[in-house]
Amino acid sequence: MFKPLKKQLIYSAVFVFLLIFLFSSTFTLRQFLTNTLRHPLSLIALIQREAAGIIFYHRNIVENEMLKREVDFLRQKVNSLNEFYLENIRLKNNLSLKAKSGLKLVTAKVIARAADSWSSILIIDKGSYHGIRRGMSVITYLGLAGRIVETTNSTSKVMLLSDPNLGVSSLIQRSRQEGLVSGTLGSNLIMKYLPEEADIKLGDTVVSSGLNDTYPKGLLIGTVLEIGKEFSGLSCYAIIKPVVNLSNIEEVLVVIP
């Protein structure tokens, strides 16, 4: 009777001991593995974080470069559209002038400028083949710009109003006072040979007088900025601001008589 009970107690004790042993061994092994692998795992985690940071950094660089290229492309496209828009406005104004002026006009583009600083010379892409001859007037939709001084078959040389060698018979539109306009090597023009008692005021409009065949009558030249007396005291002069910006002309119209 007692033998089965004793055997049962022994089995129970062995089972409990084995459980304790197994639990203790598992915990110790876990602790050992944890302590052993903690630093390598931490190092791996650090490497992963650094690698992720580097990848993110380079990805941002690539994305920023792509965005920069896209912005540059869009900026160039906007500039091209602006140039196209401005050119269309100028061409539209030229066509409007052709229709309203009653003049026979040939449209031309500026293809070159003289390298020397003492003269104001342009080269345009139309020549004798297109009916252009030496001495013809050159205008823009704003007003008088200069005169043809030389031609080839396909190009022409234009001397601008800003050149001192060019003189234009002109008059004050309001008072009809006559004078001669020429260049000053600067941005303004000068109207000379005005009598001392000339009826001229600041802001007066100056136009071509048409006294010779070179320039048609009534072409707008500019406005009076300043009035002064010559050193002799016998005549006056006027500084004229040209209506045409002579430093950045891109298209012109040649007047065919």
Tens of pLDDT, residue by residue, the chain (257 residues): 444 544 554 555 445 444 544 554 455 544 554 555 556 656 666 666 766 777 777 777 777 778 777 777 777 767 666 766 666 677 777 777 776 777 889 999 999 987 665 568 999 999 999 999 999 999 998 999 999 999 999 999 999 999 999 999 999 999 999 999 999 988 899 999 999 889 999 999 999 998 876 789 999 999 999 999 988 778 899 999 999 999 889 999 999 98
Residues contacting residue 167 through CB under 8 Å, at least 6 positions apart: 180, 181, 182
Q: How far is CA 105 from the centre of its chain?
A: 30
Report the length, in residues, of the chain: 257
Q: Where are the alpha helices (DSSP H) in the chain?
A: 2-101
DSSP bridge partners of 171: 178, 207
Pairing of strands 189-195, 235-242: antiparallel
- What architecture does CATH give domain 103-257? Beta Barrel (2.40)
Q: How far is CA 96 from CA 4, 102, 142, 180, in A?
A: 126, 11, 11, 29
Tokens 């002038």 sit at which residue?
97
